[in-house]
Amino acid sequence: MRIFALRPLDRNLFMESKPHKKRWSELGKFWTLPNVLSLARLMIVMPAAYLILVDGPLLWILGLVALAIATDYFDGRLARWSHTVSEWGKVLDPFADKVAGGLMVTVLTINGSIPLWFLIVVLGRDLLIVLGGEIIFRKKGVVSISLFSGKVAVTAVAITVLAALLKADPPVLQFCEITTVVILVYSYIRYLIRFVRSIKKQKSLEVNPDISES
């Protein structure tokens, strides 16, 4: 009686093929001008935060904050104009926004210009969004782009920071804080909805791999 053994090539026919998932090292070109602007934003906010802590010259602080806002305005637009939109850019731009905003709010909370509850909302929301993006990346190998509501939230935080720096009247500052928190919560809900839909879609693909992603 003859016994037939499966060759290695034959065994592969019975193995389920899995889609390739990207790793952080596979996100493509890192050093582009738009990405450098995003990194510059991280560098600019550090001396600005220090000057706020030591009660430095307001003109210098405002100048650095304005420069950081300018980098946020131009990095994405420059990427589109120069056709250098990259996966790394989708990571660095929102990451720089979150670090810059979180750092500014933190130092303003330390010196008593902004209440602690506002800082908790800002940092808590950003942390949850980052964790959600990391989960999606690990499951699907896809970098989640920022939503428009997220950009609006970053703008609202920047306005509140400027109001605190300029020592706005308490009712004005309180209005900025409450309005910003409402926008932050709304934007988080939008991110949460996208996260839940993405996870459900991934589970359906795992159950029925014949369903194509769109």
Does the pLDDT value for residue 173 go beyond 80?
Answer: yes
Quick: pLDDT tens for 78-127. 877 877 777 777 888 889 999 999 999 999 999 999 999 999 999 999 99
How high is the pLDDT of residue 30? 74
Q: Indicate the SS3 state at residue 151.
A: helix
Helices within the chain (DSSP H only): 8-13, 33-53, 58-81, 87-110, 116-140, 148-165, 170-207
* Average pLDDT of every residue of the chain: 83
pLDDT band at 55 (very low <50, low <70, confident <90, very high): very high
CATH annotation of 27-198? 1.20.120.1760
Q: Which residue has the higher pLDDT, 14 or 130?
A: 130
The token duo for 22 is: 């990207």
How high is the pLDDT of residue 14? 40
Q: Indicate the SS3 state at residue 68.
A: helix
Amino acid at 21: K
Closest CA to 201 of 111, 139, 126: 139
Quick: pLDDT tens for 24-42. 555 567 788 888 989 999 9
